[in-house]
Structure 1
Amino acid sequence: MRIHMFGINHRTAPVDIREQLSATGDSLAQDITTFNEAFPNTELVILSTCNRTEYYFARSTHEAPQIDELRKFLATLKQISVDQLTASSIHREQQAAIQHLLHVATGLDSMVIGETEILGQIKRAYETATQSNTVGPILHGVFQEAIAAAKQIRSQTGIDSGRISIGSVAVDFARQIFADFTDKNVLAIGAGEIAKVTLTHLRHLKPKSICIVNRSVDNATKLAEQLHLPAANNPVRNWEQMNELLVTADIVISSTASPTPILELESFKPFLKRRRNRPLFLLDLAVPRDIDPAIGSLTNVYLYNVDDLQSVIAETHDLRAEHIQTCESYLEQVAKTCMTQINNRDLGQLVRQLRHRLQDIGQLETQRTINKLSALYPHEEGAHAQKLLDEHTHRLINKILHMPLSQLDHNNPDAPLGFYASALRRLFDLDEQSTTPHITPTNSQTPTPNRNGHSTS
């Protein structure tokens, strides 16, 4: 089996490229379905956040998609050129793919080192793929290992001590515009996790009001309750009231899952006259972006997106350098162990299949010999000869297998097990589909159906 990660993130591609590949809500479900139709024998989890869109997939060695096939598939699906996609993307295989997922899950690959929101996003991506029946035994084990490793890292290191988040950095940017917040009106467009984190930090500044607008009023109401916003202040408004709220707002945080901008330049301009040139701080945390970038060129409008936050966030890397090295060593060992476990199980099933193949050959040759001997010996002696030949064949198979199998030492972490597995398949023409491994995850409390119809738990 081959494990791959292919995708883009905040280090490899600017926001205008990331928003082209993003997949949220209905588009995520549709992308999973389209992928599954194109590559039905491949396991898949799609992780899509404001900072990354990554495809984690596991397939048999000679199955589709090969990496060039995937690039062409995604280029067509997302209407982006293959060259642009190739230039903006990264690709990892086997242990490197697992290690990348571990880095993402623990926040080491995040814009904010050690941030915790990404783990919840990984869980949701894994659950969505499970519900779509695209998680098989390989990705089930790998993602469970990643989730368990992330929890272990946070409990044993200081990687998230004194952590900052997108929300806290947003507050720092707002402070560059406003010295006092007690007379400021905050408008949140969207009621997801990012809105929750950002409003949590802004609430501590004690603004005059916080108002939430969302297409789902129920979700906005739940968020207002979680933030303990006073009901007397009417903190939840209908989507249709957004335009009026933009006139009175001083700070706007937008983080919806809309595939197209919700604030366009031409429709936004009329608000400026009604605002009487009051400064407006706009923070677009959505990917795809919610706010037309051209709005940032208007007078007294200060527009920032997720990429603009990177300069501030980069400072956290130096502050946590000592913890990062400890985490790196631990995650490398976890990835290596996970990959070895997959290879060991793969080899175990390969060996059983190889033994069955040799036994079939041995039985065929034994029968041919018995047929020749039947003319020379009575029936009783022929039966005795068959028993002797069966024992002879069994011993011969064991002796033939002993030498190569002695090289497959499962206790040797440096053994090239993946190479051995490929060699066995090619030399003995073994069918990889019948040797799909199943690994037992560290945290396997949630029973999960796999693509082969089995239940993993």
Structure 2
Amino acid sequence: MNLLTIGINHQIAPVDVREKVALAPDTMQDALADLKNYLNHTSDSSSEVAILSTCNRMEVYCAANDQHISENQIQAKTLDWLASQKKLSVKDLMPYVQTTVASEAVRHVFRVGCGLDSMVLGETQILGQMKQAAAEAQKAGSISTYLNQLFNKTFSVAKEVRATTEISTHAISLASAAVKLSSRVLGPIENQRVLFIGAGEMINLCATHFSAKLPKSITISNRTPQRAQALVQTLNNQGHQGVFLPLAEVPKRLHEFDIIVSCTSSTLPIIGLGMVTTALNLRKRQPMVLVDLAVPRDFEPEINRLQDIYLYTVDDLGEIVKEGMQFRSKAVKSAEEIIDTQVNHFMHWLHQRSNVPFINSLIEKSEALQQIEIEKAKKRLIRGEDPLKVMTELARGLANKFMHGSLHSLHQSDEQSMEEYQKMLTQIFMANQRKH
């Protein structure tokens, strides 16, 4: 069994690389089917694949039960597929690719699920994203026994880590970092007008953090009005006055806002250089803070060149998170110990699964030998021979057949391996005696 992960994440790749390989949610089903077909095209095996694509990582999880294809070949084929999908060069991607195999692959997936590999150490959002990735793969029919077991084990390990350690205590989120950066630039949030573009989980988190600071106004804009209006209603129920702004009206009203936080699934920027330049002129050069939490990015990178504009990406917020995080080393150590134990358990299960074909083969041969002796016994009974004598000969015949292969191999073994072979046979037959 080849088990591996192939990914590009925030630890080794900047946002301008990550956005190039990110997969939009509405393309995931097609991507999973296409990758599975591509990996299986030149192989007799049936590879299992799942894809996790977030603002901080794009990772492929693969299990391939084929001795004729190596981990290196699977990695090469996966990167070829990804480069082809995104019209990129494999050579350009390679410096940012992280691959783990076997037990290290299991450990990596567990660490991701527990938030130990996240920009915000111990954050819980990643677990929901992994569950969504598993659900997408299930729907696409791209995973089966091995990756199902890996995901299920990951979820239980994450639950154990959060229940028994303080890994999530004191976690500083990207949302709170956005508030901190904005107040550094513009002063108290209570004097600012905030626009949120998007209505997903990250925008909901940001709206919660910003609304707690009682900004002058909160406006929500989104491609789907119903989702934006639902968030507005939530804010209103909490005592904050939120209003909805149709996405089409954002360009002509951009100048009204001091802070703009955006996180959509758009594959192209939705806020351009010209739009911000116009807004800045209408504001008479009054500064604006733009927080881009999307990957691919929602704001054109060229906007950062404008004076009086403070544009921050997820990587910039990550630096703020690092500044303020004080995690107990004991909690991290405890989490790693739990993961190490569970990796060993998973690898034991994996090795047991790898023995199934061999065991089934032994059972088939055993049943064939039994059938031969049973047929002999039937014929003798039909001829009227003594049943006790027939049963004795049946037992002796089975014993001889089962012993023949072992004794033949023992006689054929060299002096160096004979002692080890004797020990193995002794263990087998002693186990049988204890059982009966």
| TM-score normalised by L of structure 2 | 0.83
Decide which of 30, 50, 53 is 1:45's aligned counterpart: 50
**Contact 1:112 1:316 (8 Å CA) reproduced:** no
Match of 1:106 among 111, 114, 118: 114
Q: Which residue of 1 aligns with 2:214?
A: 206
Classify 1:158/1:261 alpha carbon distance in 2 versus 1 (closer, same or farther; 3 Å): same
Query: CA shift at 1:33, angstroms?
Result: 2.2
1:288 equivalenced with 2:296 (yes/no) = yes
The SS at the match of 1:182 is helix
Question: Could you give the per-residue CA deviations for residues 146-185 of structure 1, whole angstroms, max 9, x where no partner exists?
Answer: 1111111111111111221110111111111121222311
CA separation of 1:208/1:230 partners in 2, compared to 1, >3 Å: closer, same or farther? farther
Q: Would the alpha carbon gap of residues 321 and 231 (structure 1) be closer, same or farther in structure 2, given more than 3 Å must change?
A: closer
1:69 Cα deviation after fit: 1.8
What's the secondary structure of 1:45's corresponding residue? strand
In the TM superposition, residue 363 of structure 1 has moved relative to its aligned partner by 8.5
Matched, 1:67 2:75: yes
Aligned to 2:124: 116
User: What is the CA–CA distance in structure 2 between the aligned matches of 1:142 and 1:47, rounded to whole Å?
Assistant: 14
Question: What is the one-letter code of the residue matched to 1:5?
Answer: T
Residues 187, 245 of structure 1: 8 Å contact kept = no
Deviations 1:232-282 (CA, angstroms, capped at 9, x unpaired): 945222211212331201100010000111112134322222222111100
Write the deviation string for residues 422-444 of structure 1: whole angstroms up to 9, x where unpaired. Answer: xxxxxxxxxxxxxxxxxxxxxxx
For residues 355 and 77 of structure 1, what CA distance do their matches in structure 2 show? Answer: 46
Give yes or no for contact 1:157–1:323 (8 Å, CA) kept in 2. yes
1:57 alignment counterpart: 62
Give the match's secondary structure for 2:61: strand
1 CA distance for matches of 2:187 and 2:15? Answer: 29
1:334-345 mapped onto 2 (5 Å cutoff): 334-345=342-353
The aligned residue for residue 335 of structure 2 is 327
- Structure showing the higher helix proportion among its residues: 2
| Partners of 2:189 and 2:85 in 1: CA distance | 44
Larger radius of gyration: 2
- Percent identical among aligned pairs is 30
Amino acid at match of 2:34: T
SS of corresponding position for 1:119: helix
Counterparts of 1:230 and 1:246, CA distance in 2? 26
Residue 105 of structure 1 and its aligned partner are, at CA, apart by 0.8
Instruction: Give unpaired runs (5+ residues) of structure 1.
Output: 371-378, 409-457
Correspondence 1:262 to 2:270: yes
CA contact (8 A) 1:113 1:316 kept: no
**Partners in 2 of 1:232 and 1:209 — Cα distance?**
9
- Cα–Cα, structure 1 residues 63 and 342, in superposed 2: closer, same or farther, change >3 Å? same
d(CA) in 2 for partners of 1:75, 1:354: 44
Q: CA RMSD in A?
A: 3.0
Equivalents in 2 of 1:389, 1:155: separation in Å?
58
What is the alpha-carbon distance in structure 2 between the residues aligned to residue 196 and residue 259 of structure 1? 21
Distance 1:60 1:316, change over 3 A: farther
Larger RCO, structure (CA 8 Å, separation 6 or more): 1
- Residue 352 of structure 1 corresponds to 360
Q: Report the counterpart of residue 199 of structure 2 in structure 1.
A: 191
Q: How many residues get paired?
A: 398
Tell me, yes or no, if the aligned pair for 1:15 and 1:307 is still in contact at 8 Å.
Answer: yes
Q: Does 1:300 align with 2:308?
A: yes
Describe the superposition over 1:107-152 as per-residue Cα deviations: whole angstroms up to 9, x where unpaired: 1100111111111111111111111111211111111111111111
